[in-house]
Every structure is written in structure tokens, then in C-alpha cells.
Amino acid sequence: MRRKLNTLAFMTLFGIAPLPAFSAQKAVIGYVFARGKPLAGGDIAAEKLTHINYAFANIRDGQMVEGSADDAANFRVLNGLKARNPHLKVLVSVGGWTWSGNFSDMALTPESRKRFIQSAVAFLRRYQLDGLDIDWEYPGQQGLNNTYRPEDRENSTALLAELRKALDRAGKTRGRQRYLLTMATEASDEWLEHTEMGKAQASLDFVNLMAYDQFGADSDAITGHHAPLFTSPANPKHNSAATSIDHFIAAGVPPRKLVLGVPFYGKAWGNVPATEHGLYQRGGPTEAKLETSFGAISRDLENKNGFVRQWDDASKAAYLYNADRKIFITYEDEQSVHEKARFVMDRGLGGIMFWEYSEDPDNKLLDAIDGVLAHR
């Protein structure tokens, strides 16, 4: 009599790697930016996170290297959080806005990619990490005066595919179930034009959509929400998180892999007229120095010192306006984050990620996320 094999047994017998499991549990991914300083585990609410992405590792001479002398100690602190949350995954993010200049050269040839990948696997093993987050800002685009090439489009796809294979081999060798591979992506059509997300997503566990920095006084002479959930008819750029999500899905990224990024910081303009409480009005950089982390906004500015909190229901976004000082601030608050968490649930997305943990010291925004996603 023939023995009937279940699916897992069949795949094991014939050496077929199982696909990653995607549960109904939503990811809550916090980027932790140490800024070259030691971390304190007691400052992180590990129970309310599913993943921590530590920022940043660097690329030097084609290899992945530590970004700070404190990295080893900080990885020990983050791994220690698993005593409080055994399901927590700790990843390292490589690159970022400042350190993306060497990606294009590194990804250029099979040999250069192999050199980086070997160093990345060794890095994960050295610090007992759960995965790697690629933060290339941006393939095929200049970013911060970076080297870039048209070939970045195909080379970034190849880099991810080769990383996925190497991580799977390394995980099997070490007895680990799976090393995670994720990517931080620009929430724009320009990103989609310069990448192959329909192909690239096959190598990724999550696509972390940086759906923020849509407006800023350093680049825009008109105020606007820098992280709107929906596109308001009044928005001259016609952008929003929901629009980007639709475009990434149309490009071939499954909703369950898309993680919506939210900012734990705001942006300010000065010399803004009072029309519409400053929204979509002309302005420029502020003369006054303002701290615009959410913690500082919540503590010092929100409905204080002449700053009045406003709500744009079309965009589901909060903002502040100070009529006396003519200052406009776009920012995320508990209500806007709640709306985004509901959107994640309604659209069947993978979860929420945020930049950056320390900018919400009282966990007000994290609590708003946790209250909706209820991942525990």
C-alpha cells in the first residue's frame, strides 16, 4: 500500500523549500536608530513590537560593516528583549539616506554582489540576528548625491534574489527556521519606474513603504501633509499612502507583504498665511528652531503656546497652525495613526512600520497602533 505524503513531507522529501508563512498577525516594525549611542532595553516596549529594524549598518569596500562602535552592545540589548517577547525578531537595516552611496557599485556584478552577500550572512551570524533590511535610497536615482545607474533596476532585483538564496542556505546550515529579508521602499511612482517590484517582492518577506516626507519646507514652497493617508482633492501633488499602496499592488506586490510606514516626527514651515489654517499655503523654512519629533510636539506644541491642532478629514491627517507666529506643522498623532492602523486591517496589509522609536518616548503613537492591530 502506498504511503500518502502530506504537503510538508512531500516538499521535504524532494528538497523543495517551503514558502514563508504569513499569518493573520500584523507586523509592528519599529526602526531603532541608535545614533552611535548605547541603547537601554528598558526604553523599548518590546511586547508591542513584532520586529525591530536596527539602523544602520554601512557598506564599505563592497562589504557590510558595522555603523558604530556601539553596535555589538546594542545588538545584545535588543536580543535581550526576547526574554520579554520571545516572538520578537531583530533585524539590521543597511544603508539609509546617508549610507546608500555604495549600493550601486556593490550590486553591479555577480562577483560584487557575492562579496556583499557573504559579509551580510557573516554579520547576521556574528550578532545572532533574525534578518536583513535593505534600505537603498534609491535604485536608479541620485538620492544624497549617490552613484546610480539605469542597471540598478535589474541589479537590485538580482541582489535580492541572491540574498534570499544565501540566507535560506545559511538558515538551513544553522538550524534556523528562516532568516528574514525585507526592503524599505520610497512611496512614489519614481521608485516603481526604477525597480522591478513584481519580481523583487518574491525574494522579500516585507516591503516597508516609506509613506512619508511627501511635503517639506526644504523642497516645497507650499505646505502640505507629509504623510497623508488619503489623497485630498486640494492636495496639489495628489499623493497619499493609499495611492502608493494601490500602485505597489498594481506593480505586483501582494497586499500581505506591504507594510505601511508612518513617521514619528513632523515638518514645519514659517511665514504661512492663515488661510485654511495654513494648509496648502505658501511658506518656507522656519526662522525659529523647532523640535518636531512627535514627543516634543505632543509635549510642547500641540494646543499649547499658540499652536492649535487641526484635522483634515479628507486626508485623515493632523496639523498645527500658529496664527501669531505664522507657523504650520504637519505631523502624525494618535488619531491619524489609528486611521492608518484601521486601513491596514481593512486592506489586508502586512502591518505597520515606523521611523523612529525614540521620537515617541511615551509610546502614545505605538499604543494607538497596538490598540488596533492587537498583535499580542
> Which residues participate in catalysis according to the annotation?
137
Q: Which of 264, 260, 268, 244 is nearest to 319 (CA)?
A: 268
Q: Locate 13 and state its grid cell.
A: 522529501
CA angle 54, 59, 65 (to 5 degrees): 60
* CA gap 117, 196 in Å, rounded: 20
**Other C-beta atoms within 10 Å of 287: how many?**
10
Q: Locate 188 and state its grid cell.
A: 512614489
Q: Which of 20, 10, 346 is nearest to 202 (CA)?
A: 20
Amino acid at the residue 106: M
* CA gap 333, 312 in Å, rounded: 12
State the burial class of residue 175 (Cβ atoms within 10 Å of its Cβ: 0-12, 13-18, 19+): exposed
CA dihedral 316, 372, 46, 257 (to 10 degrees): -80
124 and 86 Cβ atoms separated by less than 8 Å: no
CB-hemisphere CA count at 13 Å for 102?
Answer: 16
Alpha-carbon Rg for the chain, nearest whole angstrom, is 21
